[in-house]
Amino acid sequence: MTMQPLYQALKAGFPIGELTEQRPDLAFITVPREQLRGLLLHLRDQEGFTHLVLLTAVDWIEEDRFQLTYLLHDRKGARDIGLRVMLPRQAVIEGAPMESIHDLWPTAATYQRELREMFGIDFPDSPGVNEDFILEGWREIPPYRRDFDTLKYSNETFAPRPGRESQDPAQYMKAQLYPDGA
Amino acid sequence: MAYQADRSQYPSRRPDGSLDIDLSSGKYLKLWQGPQHPGITGNMSVELTVCGDEVVEGKTHVGYLHRGFEKLMERRTFIQCFPIVCRICVPEPDFNEYCYAAAVEELAGLEVPERADWIRTLILEMGRINSYLMYLGGQAGALGQGVIGQWTTYVRDLMLDRFEELSGARIYHMFIMPGGVRDGLPDGFDQRMEETLREIESTLADVKDVMFNNAVFKKRTVGLGYIDPAIVDQYGVTGPTARAAGVAKDVRRDQPYLVYPQLDFEPVVGQDSDVFTRADVRRRDLLMSVDLIRQILARIPRSGAVMAPLPNVLHWKIPFGETYIRGECSRGEYGYYLVTDGSGYPRRVNVRGPSYTHAMALLERLIVNCNISDVAALMVSLHTYPPEIER
């Protein structure tokens, strides 16, 4: 089994990027943002990808991009397809909105609520998107962004507790595994 | 007796579709079930708006257990992530270990020895039994049958003994690691496992008599929490909850992994899609796991490597890539989405637990028009674990 026939069929109707075949039953395609909704509808209604497995983001801070991954599953065909949408990072930080897909899958509202909180990607039409999801009263930058430093935040926010030593995990493991310094 | 009146227009809706609930009218009351409440699954809470004893709106609140695992992993090397992933789900931690290990192996191009695959399957089925036993106790307890929980906790403890002799740990086993598993089976393990399985079967026969044939349990659960098969995909419903609705979703059969293609089984499916059917599907699924463990022990290779040769784990860099690994845990589809960027650290890890969809969107839909006294039973029937929602 391969995802090539599906990719060729999609390519005939949508201007999409290259196909990355990770496994015979799993592939990723980068799609233009304006094509996302049409593609999702096509995949859901015509190709049998009825299950939204997850919606998440990856922060490519060096390239000034956020990647949104929409992973869809086709149970009858036992295959998955991941749609990657690249967003300009700086524009998103400044509040550029992203289209919501909660009307296609009601569960998407939860994912979008989490993405707004953890990455600061706003989906203004998504129900309850501005309600706190996990971090009540959070005032820092969204914590799953790469420029949020957990260690620095922890050191500044919490007082050191006596009796606890903190070590760099890599150095500690090295000392344990190679005590003679080899 | 269920409340029969038509409540579909009550309370009325505003033009934007939201419910017109005026708390000052005295007709409605806000009630918090959880985060500390015997009828709640773990540390989450449901904000109920009730009219009399009927729920008109429910909102799930999480955030009591967030430890930021996905972020923590971004600053740990691949091998350092391995001992923390199991902590994402307490009652069935092994799925985190398997999904994480399989994702790392796929992106790093590691070939896992066949014997390790058999041992992994064994561990996952043992974990499934543990999780179901805990569920059965909780489901019965939510309806006042405390004794079932005592019985299932006893046999679960026997299974924890098997885990302890296998891995040295009872809860967080840290046994499935990238490359394979830590060790083979100890001497005499099969015999002791067989005794444990017999004890579980005997207890489950009692559970069937006392719980599933109990008039109160039947009256309160038959017809409660109906999930329409048509919304199964819309709401991301997976696992026994979907199978109880007649949708035969089971990753072990649909996209077989490990040694499942070599095992003989058929997914357990129900029809009525209510709390009773979900409990019954899980009970039968548990018995199927008992059978699968027997099949595995009869065919598992007794010698050979259990670990693939790993590169120097302190300088282990994985090439650029992304993948998604899924498996069928006791609650449904469990998956890991892993992105690597060529460095020694994961770029992004996203954990997809079944509770994420079940406890949020689905529960909020099912809970409407439910009686307050049935909320606990309904929640437990979705078998949700908050840690995998918050990670």
In angstroms, the CA B231 to CA B210 distance is 33
Interval A43-101: pLDDT, tens: 999 888 999 999 999 999 999 999 999 999 998 888 999 999 999 998 888 888 888 99
In angstroms, the CA A113 to CA A128 distance is 7
Interval B205-236: pLDDT, tens: 999 999 999 999 999 999 888 999 988 988 88
DSSP string, chain A: --SHHHHHHHHHHS----EEEEETTEEEEE--GGGHHHHHHHHHHTS---EEEEEEEEEEGGGTEEEEEEEEEETTTTEEEEEEEEEEHHHHHTT-B----TTT-TTHHHHHHHHHHHH--B-TTSTTTTS-SS-TT--SS-TTSTT--HHHHHHHHSPPPTT-----HHHHHHHHH-TT--
CATH superfamily, region A4-159: NADH:ubiquinone oxidoreductase Nqo5 subunit (3.30.460.80)
What average pLDDT does the segment B167-172 reach? Answer: 90
In chain B, where are the structural domains located?
Answer: 69-364
Residue B280 pLDDT exceeds 90: yes
pLDDT value at residue B41: 66
Report ipTM (2 d.p.): 0.87
- Check residue B210 and report its DSSP letter: I
pLDDT value at residue B1: 45
B75 chain-A contacts, CB cut-off 8 A: 150-151
| Residue A45 buriedness (CB in 10 A; 0-12 / 13-18 / 19+) | exposed
Nearest CA in chain A to B44: A134
Nearest-by-Cβ selection for A135 from B63, B75, B106: B63
- Average pLDDT of chain A is 87
In chain A, where are the structural domains located?
Answer: 4-159
Alpha-carbon distance A18 to nearest alpha carbon in chain B (angstroms): 14
Contact status of A174 with chain B (Cβ, < 8 Å): yes
Interval B313-328: pLDDT, tens: 888 899 999 999 999 9
State whether residue B20 is helix, strand or coil: coil
Residue B312 pLDDT exceeds 80: yes
Residue A182 pLDDT exceeds 80: no
pLDDT value at residue B38: 64
Interval B114-139: pLDDT, tens: 999 999 999 999 999 999 999 999 89
- Average pLDDT of chain B is 88
Nearest-by-Cβ selection for B68 from A23, A53, A143: A143
Put simply, whether the predicted model's pTM sits higher than 0.95 gets the answer no
* Residue A53 · residue B324 · CB < 8 Å: yes
pLDDT value at residue B197: 95
Residue A52 to residue B314, Cβ atoms within 8 A: no
Alpha-carbon distance A34 to nearest alpha carbon in chain B (angstroms): 23
CATH class of the B69-364 domain in this structure: mainly alpha
- What percentage of residues in chain A have a pLDDT greater than 90? 36
Residue B142 pLDDT exceeds 80: yes
Residue A134 to residue B390, Cβ atoms within 8 A: yes
Nearest-by-Cβ selection for A107 from B68, B80, B235: B235
User: Which of A54, A125, A166 to mutate to probe the B interface, most B CBs <10 Å?
Assistant: A54
What average pLDDT does the segment B69-73 reach? Answer: 89
- What percentage of residues in chain B have a pLDDT greater than 90? 48
Residue B236 to residue A53, Cβ atoms within 8 A: yes
Chain B residues with CB under 8 Å of a chain A CB are 62-63, 66, 68, 70-72, 74-77, 80, 106, 233-236, 238, 249, 254-255, 314, 321-324, 326, 333, 335, 337, 339, 347-348, 350, 352, 356-357, 360-362, 365, 390
Give the model's confidence band at B242: pLDDT under 50 very low, under 70 low, under 90 confident, else very high.
Answer: very high
